[in-house]
Amino acid sequence: MKKLKKVLGYIHLWLGLVIGLLVFILAITGCLYAFQEEIQDYTETYRHVEPQDKPYLKPSDFQLIASKTLPGKSLHAIKYNGRSRSVEAIYYHPEPLYYFIAYVNPYTGEVLEVKDMQKGFFRFILDGHFYLWLPPEIGQPVVASVTVLFMLMLISGMVLWIPQKIRHLKSRLWFHWSNRTRWRRKNYDIHNISGFYGLLFGLFFAITGLYWGFEIFAQGYYKLLGGEKELLYTEPQSGKGLMPESGTHPLNVVWTRMMEEYPQAVSIEVHPPETTSSPIAANANFEQGTYWKTDYRYFDQYSLKEMEVDHIFGRLKNQEFADRVVKMNYDLHTGAVLGLPGKILACIASLIIAILPVSGFMIWYGRRYKTS
């Protein structure tokens, strides 16, 4: 056991010195991003409107408004967020990349704000968490690799944490300081005790984060849970046909159907077809602040008949346990699946993880330079 701990000690030390700063950045950015929705809802007043006793404008109205608001930009989706919130006209294109949201009054069509989603404080934080502010094609594999090494650090740290004698266990579980306790001892306890309590959270964040990091990991994770569908989103193809009769707007028909079938949804989103073979995609989300309770639907843009898909972004009623777990991955990673208490817990856990590389470096520095 002593030899094993010595080997693991070297591994733990050098991994910490190499990736400690990166782990700190990932943990702090994750902590800061935890409450982005609540903060933006409070500070960005254009997200809210005064409810009115009149019907919403239809998607075709917002298509016209969108074309005048950002001429030449592709309208990706129109998202209705309830009677007291703005409609979001979402403009997105992968190449050349742009991503804008126009917040529009659902009753009057007044454009309240146009926001570039590629800019701003939380976009900066998210880019740090996903890519370490590197180009995505470089930053994404770097973050994924750091996450794997972080898991090795956690496991090696847990083995090093195990006391040689049972009577020392109490000192590894909580702080026992006096006024005479030196800072080096306090820092050592902070590292060991925080590491013990942060172990499960760290592994949890790492596993849910690796889902986006390596495709092979995502596929293996899904198959291990018993999943049989495709993980990648693909659109079913609309058949060639005549457009619906004059005076009937296909997007409005789909939206009306969604509004009637999902009266309890917190948001309903419709996607105009982007090509002559694209479907009209629509979805209804049943829970504010999460994404996994979302029903995805697809309709032929000509016949308006519903089409089935063989990937996980389909009807909730057709989803198995594995499908729901992987769809829940983002909400698990952020703690949102448990609501505000879950986000608070995720934030605290991220702070604990951020402490570990700092206190670990101070342990190494103190031993190397024999500071008192």
| Number of other CB atoms surrounding residue 233 within 10 Å | 11
Given a cut of 60, whether residue 32 has pLDDT beyond it is yes
Stronger pLDDT, 317 or 165, i.e. the higher one: 317
The per-residue pLDDT for range 44-94, each reduced to its tens digit, is: 999 999 999 999 999 999 999 999 999 999 999 999 999 999 999 999 998
Stronger pLDDT, 195 or 111, i.e. the higher one: 111
Given a cut of 60, whether residue 246 has pLDDT beyond it is no
Contact call for residues 304 and 244 (beta carbons, < 8 A): yes
**H or E element at residue 150:** helix 136-161
Alpha carbons within 13 angstroms on the beta-carbon side of residue 191 total 24
CATH number 3.10.450 is the correct assignment for the domain at 48-121? yes
Q: What's the pLDDT band for 222 if we cut at 50, 70, 90?
A: very high
The pLDDT of residue 135 is 95
Q: Give residue 61's identity as a one-letter amino acid code.
A: D
The pLDDT of residue 7 is 87
Q: What's the pLDDT band for 167 if we cut at 50, 70, 90?
A: low
The per-residue pLDDT for range 267-281, each reduced to its tens digit, is: 999 999 988 999 999
* CA dist., res. 294 & res. 296, Å (int): 6
Q: CB within 8 A of 64, min separation 6: which ones?
A: none
Closest CA to 201 of 348, 9, 64, 326: 348
Q: Is 106 exposed, middle or buried (0-12, 13-18, 19+ CB in 10 A)?
A: buried
Burial call 109-121: b when 16+ CB within 10 Å, e when fewer = eebbeebeeeeee
Closest CA to 197 of 356, 33, 338, 25: 356
**Residue found under tokens 């208490």:** 341
Mean pLDDT of 232-236: 91
- Average of per-residue pLDDT values in the chain: 91
Given a cut of 70, whether residue 371 has pLDDT beyond it is no
Mean pLDDT of 37-46: 95
Q: Hey, what are 253's tokens?
A: 């028909």
Given a cut of 70, whether residue 264 has pLDDT beyond it is yes
* CA dist., res. 106 & res. 54, Å (int): 10
Q: Hey, what are 320's tokens?
A: 């198995």
End-to-end CA distance of the chain: 30
User: Bridge partners of 322?
Assistant: none
Dihedral (CA of 163, 169, 175, 181) sign: negative
C-alpha angle with apex 8: 28 to 212, nearest 5 degrees?
A: 40
Closest CA to 147 of 211, 59, 194: 211
**H or E element at residue 101:** strand 97-104
Q: Hey, what are 252's tokens?
A: 């409005």
Contact call for residues 67 and 260 (beta carbons, < 8 A): no
Contact call for residues 300 and 279 (beta carbons, < 8 A): yes
Q: What's the pLDDT band for 308 if we cut at 50, 70, 90?
A: very high
